Amino acid sequence: MSLHQYLLFVVMPIICLAFLLIFIRFLKGPKVVDRVVAIDLIITSGVGLIGVFCILYNNASFLDVAMILALIAFLSTIAFSYYLDNGDNNKKKKND
C-alpha cells in the first residue's frame, strides 16, 4: 500500500468521520464552551485535511494557509477563554 492509497483510504475517512462527530457535538453542545471547543476542533481537523491534500497533490503552497488557520484558531480559543474567565469575575464583582 503506497502513501497515497493510505492517505485516501485510511486517513481521509478518519478525518471525515471526525468532522461528522465534531459537527454533532457542535449542534448538541449544551453550553457555549462545548461549541467553542467543537469549532476549534473543526479548524484543527481542517488543518489536517489541508496537510493531507498538500501531500496528495505534492503542492506545498497551502501549508502557509494551514499555519495561519491554526494560529487564528489558537488565538481565538485563548481570547474566548479569557473572555469567559473575565466575564465570570465581573459578574462576581457586581454581585458583591
Cα dihedral across residues 73, 75, 78, 84: positive or negative: negative
Extents of the domains making up the chain: 3-95
| Mean pLDDT over the full length of the chain | 90
Query: What digits encode the pLDDT tens for the residues 61-90?
Result: 999 999 999 999 999 989 988 888 887 666
Copy the grid coordinates of residue 95: 454581585
Q: How many whole angstroms from its chain centre is CA 94?
A: 34
Crossing angle of the two packed helices 12-28 and 32-57, in degrees rounded to 10 = 160
Write the CB contacts of 73 (distance below 8 Å, at least 6 apart in sequence).
39, 40, 43, 44, 47
